[in-house]
Amino acid sequence: MTKAVGYAAHSATAPLEPFHFERREPGPRDVEIEILYCGVCHSDLHTARNEWKGTVYPVVPGHEILGRVRRVGSSVTKFAAGDTAAVGCLVDSCRTCPDCREGLEQYCQTEMVFTYNSTDKHTGKMTYGGYSNAIVVDEDFVLKVASNLDPAGAAPLLCAGITTYSPLRHWNVGKGKKAGIVGLGGLGHMGVKFSHALGAETVLFTTSPGKAEDARRLGADSVVISKNPNEMARHFGSFDFILNTVAASHDLDPFLGLLRRDGTMCLVGAPEHPHPSPAVFQLIFKRRSLAGSLIGGIRETQEMLDFCAEHGIVSDVEVIPMQKINEAYERMLKSDVKYRFSIDMASLK
């Protein structure tokens, strides 16, 4: 076993604090990564505070991991020491179910292994995430990152990036399409960047007029203040696709009414409380769809990283030392970050 150090929560009400633990020794197919940066996701906070239930303590969060390969197992063919590598939300799956065989490991039907708070198939213990100085992962769940991407900004691509890229690709958002992005936070700002880069007419919906200028800087063609009925009405029945990134319970009907016939609104925000039920006639009369999407498979995540390298896309981040993670959680709850925290793991040394 290899000694590691990170930050862990020991209960739902305890702040994260330094934690020493062990990583498994790299097996023949394993890649050992020195973690350089780890993005901070709202899922980390939900898990640390047991808001989704099922947290096993101590828990080391973090699933937006970017680092440098330190060692590889004897059978590894995709990576070598010194390579830049990344790990997202998954570190293993059953690999045999229909979803896994299609490259959709995020929907694995039997044995999805999350980067933290999951049972490690190799050790039988809980997985620990990227709020740490190193991690060991099977090479099939490790991703390549181009050298032209800023590493601190690239780390959040492993969750915030793929969470927004996957539905935009699945619903064929691109040239000739009109796409809406609801919310300009950690997910929403990536949705705007991707929709713009894919060539779609991109409209940002926000309740905050002060975000309009930033939305345009990120690539929005126009901005709608969703609290203004007149602004909303101007776009009635005109969208091919709306990506709703808001993680708080809210009324979906005003946005469903903006979809054209056969349009889709996809939810990627995970609210603590359910959304109010939408009016069924909003869906029936225009054959509209209300859908959801979960991260992406390994193949699609690599596609996303390659797309980002081609278009120079990274997350807008505020880099923090590991010691400020508890402060970052409180600021994240207040939406006091533009638009993602990225932890510099050099602060652990």
**pLDDT digits (tens), the chain, 349 positions:** 789 999 999 999 999 999 999 999 999 999 999 999 999 999 999 999 999 999 999 999 999 999 999 999 999 999 999 999 999 999 999 999 999 999 999 999 998 999 999 999 999 999 999 999 999 999 999 999 999 999 999 999 999 999 999 999 999 999 999 999 999 999 999 999 999 999 999 999 999 999 999 999 999 999 999 999 999 999 999 999 999 999 989 999 999 999 999 999 999 998 878 899 999 999 999 999 999 999 999 999 999 999 999 999 999 999 999 999 999 999 999 999 999 999 999 999 7
Q: What confidence score (pLDDT) does residue 270 get? A: 85
**Which residues are within 8 A (CB) of 289 and not within 5 positions of it... i.e. 6 or more apart?**
262, 263, 264, 265, 283
| pLDDT tens column, 105-128 | 999 999 899 999 999 999 999 999
The CATH number of domain 164-292, selected from 3.40.50.720, 3.30.2010.10, 3.40.50.20, 3.30.200.210: 3.40.50.720
302-333: b or e for each residue (b if 16 or more CB lie within 10 Å)? Answer: bbbbebbbeeebbbbbbebebeebeebbebbe
Residue 325's pLDDT is what?
98
- The token duo for 23 is 């990583």
Contact 291, 313 (CB under 8 A): no
Rounded (10°) angle between helices 188-197 and 298-311: 70
pLDDT score for 32: 98
Separation of CA 152 from chain center: 15
In the chain, domain spans: 2-159+296-348, 164-292
Q: What is the pLDDT at residue 273? A: 84
Q: What pLDDT sits at residue 2?
A: 86
pTM score, two decimals?
A: 0.96
Q: Which two tokens stand for residue 342?
A: 């990225």
The answer for residues whose C-beta is within 8 angstroms of residue 248's C-beta and 6 or more apart is 269, 271, 272
In this structure, whether the domain defined by 2-159+296-348 belongs to CATH 3.90.180.10 is answered with yes
- Give alpha helix (H) positions in 96-170: 98-101, 151-154, 160-170
